[in-house]
Every structure is written in C-alpha cells, then in structure tokens.
Copies of this chain bind each other. A is one copy, B any other.
Amino acid sequence: MGELLEKCTAAKLAAQKMARVSTVTKDNALGAIAKALVERTDEIIAANKTDLENARKNGIREAMIDRLTLTPERIKGIADGVLEVKALSDPIGEVTGMWKRPNGLEIGRKRVPLGVIAIIYEARPNVTADAAALCLKTSNVSILRGGKEAIASNTAIMKIMQDAAYSAGIPEGALNIIEDTSRETATQLMKMNGYIDLLIPRGGKGLIKSVVENATVPVVETAAGNCHVYVDGAADPDMAEKIVMNAKVQRPSVCNAAETLLIDKAIADEFVPRIFKALQAENVEIRADEKSRAIYSENIAKATDEDYYTEYNDYIIAVKIVDGVGEAIEHINKYNTKHSEAIVTDSYERAERFLNEIDAAAVYVNASTRFTDGFEFGFGAEIGISTQKMHARGPMGLEALTSIKYIVRGNGQVRG
C-alpha cells in the first residue's frame, strides 16, 4: 500500500495544480515528451530487452512477444502519437452553455478535467505514452498500472515522460506509474475512493471482469465486442461479401471485428455458398446453424448457443440464417455486447429499423463494423471504446476525459 497511497496522494495534490496549467504549457510538455522519447530511444530499447528476456523465460507465446517488442521505428511511432495529441484542440475551459435565470443569476457550464484518472492495462507498452499524453492534454493526472510483462519498458517510458513534462512546467505528481505489478495492488487501486475520479481498464475479458467486480471508484467499462453483420435479403451481394470479409478478417483480434454473421433466409441459398467459400479461402473456421449447413455442407461445424455469445477475436465466425430483419435485431440484442453492429441492405425501411432498434454504441448501414474507433470517427484520439451507457459510449476521445462545472454569477441573490 506504501507506493500506491503515496502516489495517489501526490496525484490528488497535482490534480489541483493541473487544473490551472495553460494550454501552451501542456502543448510544450507534449512536444518535449515526443522529442525525449526519440532522443532516449536507447534507454527504452534496453528496458524492453529485459521485458523480452523475462517473457521468453516465462514461455510467453509469440503473438504476445510481438506486441511487447519495441524497435526504434515503433518508438518513433509512439512519439508521433504524442505529437498528434498535442495537435488536437484543448477541450478544457470550453463553455458548453450559458444562460440567465429570471432572478438574474447567470449560469455557465464549463468543461473541466475529471481530476485523477487511473488506467489498468495489459501488455502493450505503447499504451503508457498514449494514455499519459491524453490525460495530460486534458489537464488530468494519470496513474498507470500496466502488466508485469512490460513493466521495465513502461517504467522507462514513464521516466522519460516525467522528466520532459516536469521540465516543461507540468506540476510534479501529474504523471504516475505503479511499479508494483501485484494483483493485490491493482485491487487496492480499484478501491482508492476519494483519490481517483475515473478508472479505465484496457485489456481482455478477465481484466474487465475483475475491475467491474472489485472497483468502488467510478469505472468506464471498455472493449468487449461481440459484433454482428446482418446480410439482408435486399443486400447487394458484392457489397455484402466485401463488408463481411472486412469485418471478419481485416484484423480479427480487435474488439470491432465481426464474430457472427446473420443471413436473411430470403437470400441464403445464393449467399451462403458464396460467403462460406470466401471465408474458407481466408482460413476462417465457420460454425454454422443447421439451415446453412444443409445449404452448404454437413462438414461445417455446428454452432452452439455458446458460440453466439462468444467474442472469438480469431479466424472463427458463427453463422445463423434468420427470418428477416426482425429476427436479426432480436438475435443481436440478445447476444451482443452493445459494441458495433452492421446491416447490409438496400431497403430504406429495414435500414432505419435496424438503426433505431439495435442497442449498441455504433450501428452501421452498409459499412464495416471495423470503423468504430476514435480516429476513424474523427476524434483524433482514443483512450478506449466504452461499452457501457453512462458517461461515454463508443470511442472515447478527449471529451470523454472531461467533466463539467457550473459557474454561477450573482449580485446578492438568495433563495426565497
């Protein structure tokens, strides 16, 4: 508890000072950070080597090792990301409304920092720079708690960021990393009420679950994505194939990739063979319902109810033939994680119905679910994708890291 309490206390003090730091100072600090990350690449590479050696010793699988590996090019990419955050406009201080009451009170609503934001994340060390830069840009203090696999890399990156930021006028205590990567410390962090204004978990299902169950501080849940593409009877089959393939195979490991394909029975006889062949050509394993197996081949694996609930994040897709847009909506609202859902159709009425009735952060007509992303949405940044409905939903840009404050100017008003 020593390190955690000490850093949380420093963070809370720094948050008060951060609320007064100017945009110019923040942007100068982000510029200095980007420069320092490139200049001190050797230190980061050396630390990363330690992490990689430990990973190999612990038999971590190759895909993870790739995520963990830093090269000068990747570090340049991280520094460029910091410069992109620098280039965004500062939301803090923006007045989002102002009105006068009959008693003469003038009420203004102003964007202010949330205060202290804690982020618990897994392997990838780029999240360290990314998350700390977004918090700094929005005058928030960050407390990062990364996974033990990347702790040497994360600590090296954070040290460089702290040096550069504090030299540029950012108050000490505004950027923090918890070096103790034990599970106990993570759980304590989730319960630091009074110190932490928002906790964002970034990682797999296990991490999200642990945060939701243990946290007593406010949380935004992120990232579980059991996304669907529904190919309607009125779809252009070429467009449908293009969208299904993009949503499934362009990057299957991410949360906005499709996991289940729903096909309108009206076009199943033609579309099932076509799309199954295309999927198999890309080595996608198909788990299908009885009807589509009957159309295509009994050699295809059977989909269970469990399959429809599963976010594979892999070259696997579940398939079901449905009786039109109504059953598609019903299926999706039952099995989805409220992330991203798409319909392919040329029917105006069915498109509108799908947009209105699907319960998800992002609902698409004739486009791939893969676009749910802060950059693709034009926010210029992303701290995560919220799958809950309160505070922020969908891709979280800078505004999701702000709160509001009411400023009330009077001339002696009292309540009667």
Q: What residue in chain B is nearest A404 (Cβ atoms)? A: B393
CB pair B406–A367 under 8 Å, yes or no, is: no
Known: A198-B390, A376-B415, A391-B390. A408 touches B250 (CB 8 A): no
CB pair A405–B363 under 8 Å, yes or no, is: yes
- Tell me whether A335 is interfacial, beta carbon within 8 Å: no
CB pair A105–B371 under 8 Å, yes or no, is: yes
- Tell me whether A107 is interfacial, beta carbon within 8 Å: yes
- Min CB distance A113 to B, Å, is 9
CB pair B365–A413 under 8 Å, yes or no, is: no
- Give Cα A354 to B156, complex, Å: 38
Main secondary structure of the interface of A (DSSP, over half): mixed
Q: What residue in chain B is nearest A244 (Cβ atoms)? A: B414
CB pair B246–A361 under 8 Å, yes or no, is: no
Contacts of A371 in B (CB 8 A): 105, 408, 413, 415
Contacts of A16 in B (CB 8 A): 333, 357, 359
- Min CB distance A250 to B, Å, is 6
Contacts of A101 in B (CB 8 A): 376-378
Q: What residue in chain B is nearest A394 (Cβ atoms)? A: B406
- Give Cα A90 to B323, complex, Å: 34
CB pair B243–A370 under 8 Å, yes or no, is: no
Quick one: which of B368, B403, B412 contacts A393, CB cutoff 8 A?
A: B403
Tally of contact residues, A, Cβ under 8 A: 67
- Min CB distance A90 to B, Å, is 15
> What is the copy number of this chain in the assembly?
2
Known: A213-B216, A359-B16. A242 touches B412 (CB 8 A): yes
Quick one: which of B114, B360, B411, B415 contacts A390, CB cutoff 8 A?
A: B114
CB pair B378–A403 under 8 Å, yes or no, is: no
CB pair A407–B105 under 8 Å, yes or no, is: no
- Tell me whether A20 is interfacial, beta carbon within 8 Å: yes
- Min CB distance A199 to B, Å, is 10
Which of A114, A219, A245, A415 has the most chain B CB atoms inside 10 A of its CB?
A415
- Tell me whether A301 is interfacial, beta carbon within 8 Å: no
- Tell me whether A364 is interfacial, beta carbon within 8 Å: yes
Quick one: which of B250, B410, B414 contacts A415, CB cutoff 8 A?
A: B250
Cβ contacts A to B, 6 pairs, < 8 Å: A197-B389, A242-B412, A362-B406, A364-B410, A393-B403, A394-B404
